[in-house]
C-alpha cells in the first residue's frame, strides 16, 4: 500500500477564517448531519491521486514541475457556497472559488502530465470548490432551511488570493480527521502574472 496523495492549492488563513465565520449558521443548522472539515484543512484540490507508491513520488514531482513551468501567480476570488450534487440532495457542502481560464489551462496540463505517468485523467468538468463539510450517510437534512442559509451565502465574497504555488500533499486519515503534510511544492514565479 502507498501513501494517499493529492495535488492542491493551499488557501490563506484569512480566507479560511472568513469562510468559517460565514458558514457558522450552517454548522449550527446541520450539527448532527454533517462532518465539518477543520478550517486548517480547507484547500482547493486539483487532482486526487489516491494510494501512491513512494517510488512514484519523484516522477509526480517532475510532472508537476513540467506542468507549472511558465505559469506565474494567478489572482482568484473565493465566493459563494453550494452543495454537490445539489441543495435538494446534498452530499458535500462547499465554498466557491472562481476559475479564470489560466487555472483551467494549468489543471489541464497537470492532468496531461500525470496521464503520461499512467494516472487516469479526470474527464469531469473542473469545478473549483473548497469542501467545508460532508453529509453523513443516512443523515436527515432540513432542505428548506438549508436552501435559505445557502441563499445568504450565494454572493458572499470570502476574499481574494494569489495562487503562488502548487502543492503535492500527503493525507493521513485519522479518527479525528485527515492530517495533511506537504511533500513537494512548485513555485509559480517563472511566468507572467495573471
Catalytic residues: 43, 129
Q: How far apart are CA 150 and CA 81, in angstroms?
A: 6
Q: How far apart are CA 55 and CA 69, in angstroms?
A: 23
Torsion of CA 116, 164, 19, 170, to 10 degrees: 50
Helices vs strands, H then E, count in the chain: 5, 9
Q: Which residue has the cell 432551511?
A: 145
Are the C-beta atoms of 76 and 160 separated by less than 8 Å?
yes
C-alpha cell read off for 7: 495535488
Q: How far apart are CA 105 and CA 74, in angstroms?
A: 12
Amino acid at each position: 500500500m502507498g501513501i494517499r496523495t493529492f495535488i492542491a492549492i493551499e488557501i490563506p488563513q484569512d480566507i479560511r477564517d472568513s469562510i468559517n465565520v460565514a458558514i457558522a449558521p450552517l454548522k449550527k443548522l446541520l450539527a448532527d448531519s454533517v462532518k465539518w472539515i477543520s478550517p486548517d484543512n480547507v484547500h482547493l484540490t486539483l487532482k486526487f491521486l489516491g494510494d501512491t507508491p513512494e517510488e512514484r513520488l519523484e516522477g509526480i514531482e517532475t510532472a508537476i514541475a513540467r506542468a507549472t513551468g511558465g505559469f506565474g501567480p494567478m489572482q482568484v476570488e473565493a465566493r459563494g457556497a453550494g452543495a454537490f450534487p445539489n441543495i435538494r440532495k446534498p452530499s458535500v457542502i462547499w465554498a466557491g472559488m472562481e476559475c479564470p481560464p489560466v487555472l483551467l489551462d494549468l489543471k489541464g496540463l497537470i492532468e496531461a502530465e500525470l496521464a503520461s505517468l499512467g494516472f487516469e485523467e479526470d474527464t469531469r468538468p473542473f469545478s473549483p470548490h473548497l469542501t467545508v463539510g460532508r453529509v453523513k450517510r443516512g443523515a436527515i437534512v432540513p432542505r428548506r432551511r438549508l436552501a435559505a442559509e445557502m441563499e445568504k451565502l450565494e454572493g458572499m465574497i470570502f476574499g481574494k488570493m494569489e495562487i503562488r504555488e502548487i502543492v503535492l500533499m500527503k493525507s493521513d486519515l485519522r479518527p479525528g480527521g485527515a492530517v495533511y503534510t506537504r511533500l513537494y511544492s512548485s513555485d509559480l514565479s517563472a511566468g507572467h502574472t495573471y
